[in-house]
């Protein structure tokens, strides 16, 4: 579930500005800032001032509390922002869902003014991509750590709707990773990477991809870098796409009582494919644009079905 914490939020005053807090002027962070400002201009909402704060590791975050929407880029910045007054609205970006939930619980804040656009793509969207590329696949493997294991039932439910058997292995220490990975690869058609810092990180990425390649099983990742490193396909959201969604939230929540929506998964997404890996695994791939359009069609149907269930 996305929601944790108290269900009745404190009312906040309408804010007049946005402070984007970053930990360093990296290309990704600067791209977000640029696109966010452009999105505000394109919506003709020029009332909101945009301020950028670079928060150093040892500094305490200081903003115009209660009159600012704070957009925190990254985990360390979100942790710092969680210590602001509870009436100051905070929106996290570039943070995974498990990590956001951990920060939310520790902060004892309310969802009405502490939210996020999480990195995690919806499971149904990820599994739809696997189905589109591997129409005959029956079993999809997932590795879950302590942070991601709470979503097992959700992933399995979405898998069943797409005629997949989801085979999971739980990894709670580094020494378990490779044995559990090999066990999965021996019994499944593909590996779907679910964000979890214990499993997928800079130290483990190459070993996971190399071992999967040895077993001739494709890996579906969640970033461009994973595809460049050897994954078959990845579904991800760019800085521009996160900025667009954040700007939409800022505009909608500006009016009193300026309550933020519940944590959201990415609304906009991109797909990247590794044709060399596909050729090596003897997998036929359509071009990225065609696949993207197919995914958008599936998305429209999925959202319509969800609306029907609500009503």
Q: Where are the domains of the chain?
A: 17-119+239-253, 123-235+269-295
Percent of the chain with pLDDT over 70: 90
Query: Which residues are CB-neighbours of 62 under 8 A, at least 6 positions away?
Result: none
Domains 17-119+239-253 and 123-235+269-295 equal at CATH topology level: yes
Q: In this structure, how many other beta carbons lie within 10 angstroms of the beta carbon of residue 278?
A: 16
45-72, pLDDT tens digit by residue? 667 889 999 998 778 888 877 678 999 9
Q: Would you say 257 and 13 are in contact if contact means Cβ atoms under 8 Å apart?
A: yes
pLDDT > 60? residue 121: yes
pLDDT at 13: 60
Q: What is the arrangement of strands in the sheet containing 17-22, beginning at the earlier edge strand?
A: 49-54, 17-22, 68-73, 90-95, 114-118
Whole-model pTM: value is 0.85
Fold of 17-119+239-253: Rossmann fold (3.40.50)
Tokens of 278: 């596909």
Is the model's pLDDT at 310 over the cut of 60?
no
Q: How many CB atoms lie within 10 A of CB 14?
A: 12
pLDDT higher at 258 or 238: 238
CATH topology of domain 123-235+269-295: Rossmann fold (3.40.50)
Is the pLDDT at 11 greater than 50? The verdict is no
Helix (H, G, I), strand (E, B) or coil at 119: coil
Average pLDDT over residues 282-311: 77
Report DSSP state, residue 259: P
């Amino acid at each position: 579930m996305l929601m944790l914490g108290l269900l009745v939020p404190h009312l906040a005053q309408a804010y007049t500005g946005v402070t984007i807090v970053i930990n360093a002027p990296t290309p990704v962070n600067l791209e977000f800032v640029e696109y966010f400002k452009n999105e505000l201009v394109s919506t003709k909402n020029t009332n909101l001032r945009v301020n950028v704060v670079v928060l150093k590791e040892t500094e305490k975050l200081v903003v115009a509390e209660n009159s600012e929407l704070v957009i925190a880029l990254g985990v360390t910045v979100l942790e710092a922002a969680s210590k602001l007054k509870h009436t100051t609205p905070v929106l996290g970006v570039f943070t995974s869902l498990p990590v956001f939930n951990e920060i939310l619980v520790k902060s004892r804040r309310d969802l009405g003014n502490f939210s996020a656009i999480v990195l995690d793509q919806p499971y149904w969207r990820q599994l739809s991509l696997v189905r589109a590329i591997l129409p005959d696949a029956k079993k999809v493997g997932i590795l879950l750590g302590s942070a991601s294991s709470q979503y097992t039932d959700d992933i399995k439910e979405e898998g069943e709707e797409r005629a997949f058997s989801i085979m999971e292995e739980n990894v709670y220490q580094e020494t378990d990773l490779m044995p559990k990975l090999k066990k999965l690869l021996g019994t499944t058609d593909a590996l779907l990477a679910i964000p979890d810092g214990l499993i997928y990180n800079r130290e483990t990425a190459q070993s996971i991809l190399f071992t999967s390649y040895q077993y001739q099983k494709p890996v579906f990742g969640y970033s461009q870098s994973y595809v460049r490193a050897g994954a078959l396909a990845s579904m991800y959201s760019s800085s521009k796409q996160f900025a667009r969604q954040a700007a939409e939230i800022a505009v909608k929540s500006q009016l009193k009582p300026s309550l933020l929506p519940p944590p959201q998964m990415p609304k906009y997404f991109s797909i990247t494919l590794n044709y060399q890996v596909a050729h090596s695994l003897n997998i036929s791939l359509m071009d990225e644009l065609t696949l993207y359009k197919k995914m958008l069609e599936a998305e429209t149907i999925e959202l319509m079905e969800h609306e029907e269930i609500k009503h």
